[in-house]
Structure 1
């Protein structure tokens, strides 16, 4: 049996998307999320497929130390936050929507921590009773014909909440972040606190606690070229501390 540092790493469950690969549908997680989490959270990883009828969410939640919800090209189905579907824009991944809802409920019941990136922040907000807006447009996303690399070069400043969890972790009250999203938080879930805002007021990061479950999520992509960005590394390290039950987030009252 192999022994070493990896044996002591906490186990992080990463929820997969459903994405077409050739003629079939694959359970998909981009490696940049996995590498960022493994390297800077110092976590071992397990991928959770978005097949809600074939997974045992409570059993999985009991087996891992936390859950990571990544970004995705898909949007959350608007009926999940009570919005009019007439003008909703896909693509959608409703199997992921349902899997995430079940996994978040189970993780909270099991008192495990939850982390979100981009779509993941939106999923957390919706799962906890918040709503989304779909009118962000060019302020928060590069032009639709932009190359993949230049999408992540689309950046804007954010103001970090003074003495907030994220501000303390980054040692600053501001950051410049990449911005690759058309949707964002509208009504904030009551269990969450704002950790960062864009200049136009859009919520860019949140934190919260429900019992011993700690919740941290950002709207941007710290996994993108994290090796060259100390602030991105600090965000993953913050995730990693919460994964181990060590967190600056106050317990819920």
Structure 2
């Protein structure tokens, strides 16, 4: 089972909005099909429950979202108040990242999740990548069909000898691009494993991690079964989750047969 934390959003019509907990279908489907694991949610989970809930799952995936990580977590003011934030998600996921790394729980971050991991471990973000001199505009054409928004947009340069080079089958691969924020300072303990043509970090791994602990700025969940590189990421994540499941079940079986 893979835990996917939810977004917190206000939804409704005619001036009446109510809070909803939201998980994008494409993320859950990529876990189900690509990683061959069961996606699960724990609605209203809080930081005090992280240890208990991690003991019940085999991995964690931090998804993308329309919302951004609140810049107060990297000591900046909000640059664009019109962009959505999700402080409730921040409170859970930033602590969850640190717990996953400490406990050796397989961890995959995508887009916002990629940024969450960087911030949780001490890195910072560009709030508006397209306004940084020398960097590209990495945002998608929002009025275009989804097939266009998620189509390959630019190449990635993959670090030689990295798992990403193995998954891609070469040193360069095309990926989609749908983000306004991006990494400014990479957190200590993270290794950059892929870069966009402008030098922006697009993938990293947690140095010395005991298990799968990788994150990407692009969106491999989009029809991952149609793109070998995207599929390879989820297949590797799924293998790590099954390894943890085996260890969890062995530990549970041992506990059942150990005299009190």
User: What's the TM-score once normalised by structure 1's chain length?
Assistant: 0.85
Determine whether 1:75 maps to 2:68: yes
Q: Which residues in structure 2 correspond to 1:113-124 (within 5 Å)? A: 113-124=106-117
Instruction: Find the counterpart in structure 2 of residue 94 from structure 1.
Output: 87
Distance 1:173 1:50, change over 3 A: farther
Asked if structure 1 preserves the Cα contact closer than 8 Å seen for 2:34 and 2:225, the reply is no
Determine whether 1:181 maps to 2:174: no
Asked if structure 1 preserves the Cα contact closer than 8 Å seen for 2:2 and 2:58, the reply is yes
Instruction: Find the counterpart in structure 1 of residue 101 from structure 2.
Output: 108
Instruction: Find the counterpart in structure 2 of residue 14 from structure 1.
Output: 4
- Among 235, 238, 241, the alignment partner of 2:236 is 238
User: What's the TM-score once normalised by structure 2's chain length?
Assistant: 0.83
> Take 1:224 and 1:139, find their aligned partners in 2: how far apart are those partners?
20
3-state DSSP of counterpart to 2:30: helix
Gaps spanning 5+ residues in structure 2: where? 131-135, 245-260
> Take 1:166 and 1:50, find their aligned partners in 2: how far apart are those partners?
34
> Take 1:212 and 1:226, find their aligned partners in 2: how far apart are those partners?
25
Q: Deviations over 1:92-134 (max 9, x none)?
A: 0010001102222332333212110111100000001111012
Gaps spanning 5+ residues in structure 1: where? 1-10, 247-253
> Take 1:225 and 1:168, find their aligned partners in 2: how far apart are those partners?
20
Instruction: Find the counterpart in structure 1 of residue 36 from structure 2.
Output: 42
Distance 1:25 1:239, change over 3 A: same
Distance 1:48 1:173, change over 3 A: farther
Q: How far does residue 242 in structure 1 lie from its aligned partner after superposition?
A: 2.6
- When Rg is computed on C-alpha atoms for both structures, the one with the higher figure is 2
The total of aligned residue pairs comes to 235
Instruction: Find the counterpart in structure 2 of residue 194 from structure 1.
Output: 192
Q: Over aligned residues, Cα RMSD in angstroms?
A: 2.1
Higher strand content, 1 or 2: 1
Distance 1:171 1:86, change over 3 A: closer
Distance 1:86 1:122, change over 3 A: closer
Instruction: Find the counterpart in structure 1 of residue 52 from structure 2.
Output: 59
> Take 1:104 and 1:152, find their aligned partners in 2: how far apart are those partners?
26
3-state DSSP of counterpart to 1:63: coil
Asked if structure 2 preserves the Cα contact closer than 8 Å seen for 1:78 and 1:88, the reply is no
Q: How far does residue 206 in structure 1 lie from its aligned partner after superposition?
A: 0.6
